[in-house]
């Protein structure tokens, strides 16, 4: 998923995703100059957020 995809999935602005991905530990990986996230990794991350 791209940053745009993740922002839409989380119902957050793209600017929030870019500004918080490291602090929130959103499971992005750098691919060249781009950030990408696997849907399964994002779902696991979301599940973990509810457990805290």
29 DSSP β-pair partners: 36
30 DSSP β-pair partners: 35
Query: Vertex 12, ends 9 and 18: CA angle to 5°?
Result: 100
For residue 39, is pLDDT > 70? yes
For residue 41, is pLDDT > 90? yes
Q: Nearest to residue 26, comparing CAs of 13, 51, 52, 39?
A: 39
Furthest CA-CA distance within the chain: 33
In this prediction, residues 32-44 reach a mean pLDDT of 96
In this prediction, residues 22-39 reach a mean pLDDT of 95
Dihedral of CA 12/14/16/21: which sign?
positive
């Amino acid at each position: 998923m791209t940053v745009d995809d993740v922002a839409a999935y989380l119902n957050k602005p793209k600017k929030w995703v870019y500004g918080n991905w490291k602090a929130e530990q959103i499971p992005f990986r750098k691919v060249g100059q781009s950030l990408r996230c696997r849907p399964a990794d994002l779902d696991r991350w979301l599940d973990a957020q509810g457990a805290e």
